[in-house]
């Protein structure tokens, strides 16, 4: 597997987003099956595994910790704090909480669940407007000095916040939604990352599965699948957005690839410090995703994609408003 750098942290060019094994996209995967696919990813060269305390809460971190314990020194584990979750019980309360004492308590719980003595990359999951970002960065600086955390990241943060935090302690990576149909970071966040030497980790690089070509207007989602409430996933929006998938399929046919591989290859071609983290619960899809590193998109291919996609508007907001309000702060 090709390697890339997030700041000073070296990882595989494609990581693995673990969330869907426990949370978000329907019923949780069987625990042993989840362990099997995480280890299968590692066997195929993936070194960057992404989780968060909010996924469950706690269940996903516990799964990741168990799966990676035998090879802990060979992988990078990234997790996140920031929602108002009781560090002891996992009770989810309204809103955010990035008070320094809460961050420190959350980190202690993460270390236990992940079965490790350090967190390779710790992100603030969402920027808390009630806590100055300098206080958050200072707390991470303390945790790094103590050896409990090795690298600091922000998720869904705006460029100004990134600069303020980076002035207190070097940021290794920014994680935000980014894909061929979600281009928000391009205006300000990616330029800030490039200027400051920060890596970028796109979450949902396959558009919550839509860019794989496996979803259409007739697809039904489980009651526990949060895409049921996403504006971009109403039947009407899905029908309109299939035009985007059609373009991906055309390029994929010419490249002897799949739409998912083209979507991931497009991200990899944007910057050498971008590391997407697609998730899946199925081994064949894992192998398909990792195969994207072998898909070469020429400058002409990239121009064609850009021109073609520019003529098709995306229908629907990427997230519900109650979640979107916490982004780009």
The residues assigned a catalytic role are 55
The CA distance from 300 to 149, in Å, is 42
**Which single residue is written with the structure tokens 């060269």?**
45
Comparing CA positions, the residue from 210, 316, 296 lying closest to residue 255 is 296
Neighbours of 101 (CB within 10 A): 10
Residue 20 DSSP symbol: G
Cis peptide before 57 (omega within 30 of 0): yes
Q: How far apart are the first and last CA of the chain?
A: 34
Q: Which structure tokens are listed for 84?
A: 């108002």
Nearest to 104 by CA among 151, 146, 165, 164: 146
Rounded to an integer, what distance in angstroms lies between the CA atom of residue 182 and that of residue 11? 24
- C-alpha closest to that of 97 among 83, 111, 115: 83
* Residue found by looking up tokens 């890339």 in the block: 4
If we measure between CA atoms, which residue out of 83, 84, 22 comes closest to residue 226?
22
Distances (CA, A) of 85 to 52, 66, 69, 92, 127: 11, 22, 25, 5, 15
Nearest to 83 by CA among 130, 23, 125: 125
């Amino acid at each position: 597997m090709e390697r890339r750098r997030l700041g000073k942290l070296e990882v595989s060019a494609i990581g693995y987003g673990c969330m869907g094994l426990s949370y978000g996209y329907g019923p949780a995967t069987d625990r042993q099956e989840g362990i099997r696919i995480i280890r299968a990813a590692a066997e195929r060269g993936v070194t960057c595994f992404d989780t968060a305390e909010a996924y469950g809460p706690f269940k996903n971190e516990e799964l990741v910790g168990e799966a990676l314990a035998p090879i802990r020194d060979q992988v990078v584990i990234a997790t996140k704090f920031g929602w108002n979750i009781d560090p002891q019980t996992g009770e989810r309360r309204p809103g955010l909480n990035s008070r320094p004492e809460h961050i420190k308590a959350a980190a202690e719980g993460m270390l236990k669940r992940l079965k490790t003595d350090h967190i390779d990359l710790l992100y603030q999951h969402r920027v808390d407007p009630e806590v100055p970002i300098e206080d958050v960065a200072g707390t991470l600086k303390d945790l790094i000095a103590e050896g409990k955390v090795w690298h600091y990241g922000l998720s869904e943060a705006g460029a100004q916040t990134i600069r303020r935090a980076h002035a207190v302690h070097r940021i290794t990576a920014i994680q935000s939604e980014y894909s061929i149909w979600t281009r928000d970071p391009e205006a300000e966040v990616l330029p800030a990352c490039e200027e400051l030497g920060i890596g970028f980790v796109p979450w949902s690089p396959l558009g919550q599965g839509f860019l794989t070509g496996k979803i259409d207007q007739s697809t039904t989602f489980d009651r526990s699948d949060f895409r049921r409430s996403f504006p971009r996933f109403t039947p009407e929006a899905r029908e309109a957005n299939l035009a985007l998938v059609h373009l991906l399929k055309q390029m994929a046919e010419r490249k002897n690839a799949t739409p998912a591989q083209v979507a991931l290859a497009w991200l990899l071609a944007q910057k050498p410090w971008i590391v997407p983290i697609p998730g899946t619960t199925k081994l064949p899809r894992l192998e398909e995703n990792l195969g994207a590193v072998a898909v070469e998109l020429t400058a002409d291919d990239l121009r064609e994609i850009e021109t073609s996609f520019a003529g098709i508007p995306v229908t629907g907001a990427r997230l519900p408003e109650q979640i979107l309000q916490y982004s780009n702060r």
